[in-house]
Structure formats: C-alpha cells, structure tokens
Amino acid sequence: MMAVCRASKYSPIHSTWELQYAPSSTQANKTAVLLYVAKNGLTLQYAHTELRNDLEVVLEAIKNNAWAVVFANELLRGNKMVMMEVVTQNGMLLSYASKELQDDIDVVMTAVSNNGYALCHASKKMQKNKLVVIMAVSNEGCALKYVFEDLQGHFGVVFEAVTQNGWALEYASNRLRKNLTIVSAAVTQNGHAIQFALKYDIQIVLSAVSQNKKVLPFLPEKFSKNPQVILTALKNDVKCLNYIDHSMFQNPDFIWSILNMGILPSPRKRGGACINLIYKCRIISELCIPTSLKNMLFMYLAFLPN
C-alpha cells in the first residue's frame, strides 16, 4: 500500500492550478507536470522552461486545451504534429503556428475546416489556393474577406460563400455583385445581403423581404414603395408597418389592402367580434408610426368584417 502511495505522490491533484505555487522541483518534474497538464492544459505555463520544450508534455497539454500552445516553446509551434492537434480543436490558433506551417496545406486545410476565419492567418499562397478557399468559405462564408482578389471574382467560390452566409456578398467582386444568381443565393440566405447587391430584380427583392422584414429601409424607392413588395413583407411580419414610407398611407386602396389581407393577428383563444377588434387595435397601437396614421388604421379597421 505504501509503495502505491509513493508511486502516485503527485496524484490525486486537488487543484489543477497548484502547479503555479508548487516548488521549482515539482515544476521541473516531468511525471508531475504530465499529471497536471492532463487535467488542465493551461498549467503548462507554470512548468519549467525545459518541459515547455518537451514534445510529450506539450502534446499532453494541448490535447486537454489547444490554447496551451501559447505557452509552448516557439520551436514546437513549428512541429507539424503539435499544430495539427491544435488547429483540429481550434482553427484560429493557426496564428501561433510557424510561418512554414501557415504555408502547409495539411495544417491550413485542417484549420479552415474547423473555422473558416482561420484563413486570415494562412500564408498569401494558401489564400490563393482554390481548394483551401472553398473549404474556408463553406465553413464560414465571410472568410471570403481574406481571399485573394482574383478568387473573390470566381463564381464557384463566391456562390459557396453566399450560400453559407449571405453577408459574404459584401466581399465579392463588383461583377458578381451584379450577377442575379449570386445575389439571389445571398438574399435567400440573408435578406440583408441585398444592401451589397449592385443589381437585382423584383423577384430578388421579394425573396429578400420574405427572409428579413428589416430590409425595406435599404431598398431604393421604386421597390420600397412597391405595394407588392410591402404586402409580401407584411405577410412575413405585421411589424413591417414600422418600415413603410409614411406617404404610402395616403393611399386608401393601399390601406384597405393591408387590413383586408388579414395580417393583423387574432387572439389565440376564441373570443367574440369585439374581443378580436380590441386585440387588433392593440397591435396597431404598438406600431412605431405617427398617431395620425394609427388613427387612420383604426378608422379603416372599423369598416372591416369581423
């Protein structure tokens, strides 16, 4: 029994941070340090300098927590086996890899497959590599920001990016921001992407407002005042009334269309006509529009069948 206790004198570890206050002899003891970093990789920072340059210790630490690489000796950040383990857990830690490994396709592909934004830490050569770029933007579309300019104008790359994240349209070339297929894919994913489009048609606008009600203020007047566009947005969310140009409420036919399309919700519980009317009036009263327009809506609402 005593023999077992001696063999495990560094275990159990009551606190994974005890190594910080341990005597220097313990901080330099490989067996002890291995036990500590296996429980908490970040305790590697309190290990003796020689052990922070020890491959076995560093690997044990980063298996527990990839951020332990921050405390590893700089030479080990150039070790492919170490960095492959690190970027498998956290692609953004590619920033701590050596310049050589930031140019290594295996390491970079592993990093961007974990986090597309890791592309910003890759070498210029890797940012021009189409396979690497496609892997990055399929993981995070806005990684298109860090892509070599020529590939920001590549249809396949950009389509992959905007399909994953419509906001990526911001980083596409001007030519592709005019491409209706690309723009349509972007606004289908995120209606707000339409603000980055340089060309679009009514169908794309309808798709955008269906996806995101807050798109209306970003549209040019010919679309923001288009009844079809507005009614499509309202079908998505009645609160789109907050974003409609107030001049539209001067058109009685338009107001009648809004109220007659049944967009104002009814109470979940069944109630009489009076309860239904009161509920709809409450919805109107909560809208962020001028009182005069609210009064107009109340007036028209009174003429609708219950």
pLDDT at 298 over 70: no
Q: Which residue has the higher pLDDT, 87 or 257?
A: 87
CA 207 to chain centre: 21
Residue 48: alpha-carbon gap to chain centroid: 39
pLDDT tops 90 at residue 97: yes
Q: On the CB side of 265, how many CA atoms lie within 13 Å of its CA?
A: 9
Judge whether residue 129 has pLDDT over 50.
Answer: yes
User: Percent helix, strand, coil in the chain (nearest 5)?
Assistant: 75, 0, 25
Higher per-residue confidence, 138 vs 21: 138
**Mean pLDDT, to the nearest integer, of 76-96?**
96
What would the pLDDT profile of 166-195 be if each residue is shown by its tens digit? 999 999 999 999 998 998 899 889 888 888
pLDDT tens-place string over residues 20-65 = 888 899 999 999 999 999 999 999 999 999 999 999 999 999 999 9
Provide the whole-model pTM: 0.69
